[in-house]
Amino acid sequence: MTKISFGGQTHELTPGQTVLDGLLAAGEEIPHACRAGACGACLLRAESGAVPEPAQVGLSVALKARGCFLACQCRPTEPMIVRPADEGLLVAGRLASVEALSSSVAKVVVELEAPLEGVAGQYVSVRRGPLARSYSIAAMRGSTIELHVRRIDGGALSPFLCDPASTGAAVDVTGPFGSCFYVPDDLSRVLVLAGTGTGLAPLWGILHDAIEHGHMGQIWLFHGAVEPDGLYLTAELAALARATPNLRFVPCVLRGGRGEIEEGSIDDVVLRHVPKPARARVFLCGAPDMVAKMKKRIYLAGASLWDISGDAFVPSSAG
Ligand SMILES: Cc1cc2nc3c(=O)[nH]c(=O)nc-3n(C[C@H](O)[C@H](O)[C@H](O)COP(=O)(O)OP(=O)(O)OC[C@H]3O[C@@H](n4cnc5c(N)ncnc54)[C@H](O)[C@@H]3O)c2cc1C
Ligand code: FES
């Protein structure tokens, strides 16, 4: 049995049990969502004791240096004293505006008390009391961040964030996390951005960063949904593509394609337009199964795994 101390109490973990499961079972209130190491909601900090390597996968060097780790991925083999990672990491904010982008997606602007150290394309964990959910940053201006939130009916947080009546409400934010952002190291490379649903949010940020940096290589943006009403910002992106000679925007749907909206699974559509992605830098975001499928197919078509990044929007799991 491994001992974990948290908030002055010591709890015993059963063999193989994660710190998150052990602390929740002991009645501690630990924010969490995906339980899969994908959202950052369960971030804790080790005051003493060795942090197993898998518990820090994907965290920034700065977070690792502070002893931060993902409780849902942490199966310690020796005693640890852990505490909330909040100190110095949690930034208070308020919902400055909530504006509908479609019948189910809202643009949520959060004004923070201090700027975050990060860039658009990464994701933050939005906290409301003990509740934490992750959202990608579509735009970041000083201490203001813009999110695209899809309302999940019956969901714990997204209906609140998408409700215009929530404007002015207080939220806290931690992060940002993740490696999904534009790096201006080679302005001539082909960029392939492909996302489903609100997977457009990080891609919107990456696209605008690339354009602002004067990216010269071809930029492909694919936005997929089940049906046309699952797409949003389509007119804005089509106008941006008309004004940007090296940008090609391809909206696509599984059913009901019409006009400029192509029909087909987004992985088929991407490879139809970019059959040889060998030298491309690829960003994939949105539904986890689609991100995994696209990653595999684009890799098999010749892209290097080093050049493929993205975020799977893993939903919260029960418990
Ligand atoms: C790295 C990362 C980035 C993300 N970025 C965004 C973003 O930019 N915009 C955005 O809208 N969301 C994003 N998400 C998803 C977001 O974190 C929440 O999962 C989502 O908003 C639902 O939260 P909720 O509290 O409303 O619903 P919950 O209370 O978490 O869920 C209610 C129920 O619905 C299920 N569920 C939740 N979402 C889905 C889904 N998509 N499909 C099927 N079942 C579902 C849950 O499993 C649960 O049973 C991201 C997730 C991750 C991990
Ligand atoms: S990363 Fe641990 S709950 Fe999501």
Specify the CATH class of 91-177 in words. mainly beta
191-312 is classed CATH 3.40.50.300: no
Closest residue by Cα to atom 1, ligand 2, is 37
User: What distance in Å separates the CA atoms of residue 75 and residue 94, rounded to the nearest whole number?
Assistant: 35
Would the CB of 132 count as within 6 Å of ligand 2?
no
Residue 318 has a pLDDT of 59
Report CA(275)–ligand 1 centroid distance (Å): 31
Closest residue by Cα to atom 5, ligand 1, is 135
| Atom in ligand 2 nearest the alpha carbon of residue 32 | 3
Angle, helices 288-300/266-273, rounded to nearest 10 degrees: 30
pLDDT tens per residue across all 319 residues of the chain: 799 999 999 999 999 999 999 999 999 999 999 999 999 999 999 999 999 999 999 888 888 988 999 999 999 999 999 999 877 788 999 999 999 999 999 999 999 999 998 999 999 999 998 899 999 999 999 999 999 999 999 999 999 999 999 999 999 999 899 989 999 999 999 999 999 999 999 999 999 999 999 999 999 999 999 999 999 999 999 999 999 999 999 999 999 999 999 999 999 999 999 999 999 999 999 999 999 999 999 999 999 999 999 999 999 985 5
Per-domain boundaries in the chain? 2-84, 91-177, 191-312
User: What distance in Å separates the CA atoms of residue 177 and residue 85, rounded to the nearest whole number?
Assistant: 14
Report CA(43)–ligand 2 centroid distance (Å): 7
Question: For a pocket test of ligand 2, which of 19, 30, 42 has the largest count of ligand atoms closer than 8 A to its C-beta?
Answer: 42
Q: For the residues of the chain, what is the DSSP string, one character each?
A: -EEEEETTEEEEEPTT--HHHHHHHTT-----S-SSSSS-TTEEEEEESPPPGGGGTT--HHHHHTTEEEGGG---SS-EEEEES-TTT-EEEEEEEEEESSSSEEEEEEEESS--SS-BTBEEEEEETTEEEEEE-SEEETTEEEEEEE--TT-SSHHHHT-GGGTT-EEEEEEEE-S-S--TT-TTS-EEEEEEGGGHHHHHHHHHHHHHTT--S-EEEEEEESSGGG--SHHHHHHHHHH-TTEEEEEEESS--BTTBEES-HHHHHHHH-S--TT-EEEEEESHHHHHHHHHHHHHTT--GGGEEEEE-PPP---
Residue 319 has a pLDDT of 54
CATH superfamily entry for domain 2-84: Beta-grasp domain (3.10.20.30)
Report CA(39)–ligand 2 centroid distance (Å): 5
Report CA(3)–ligand 1 centroid distance (Å): 32
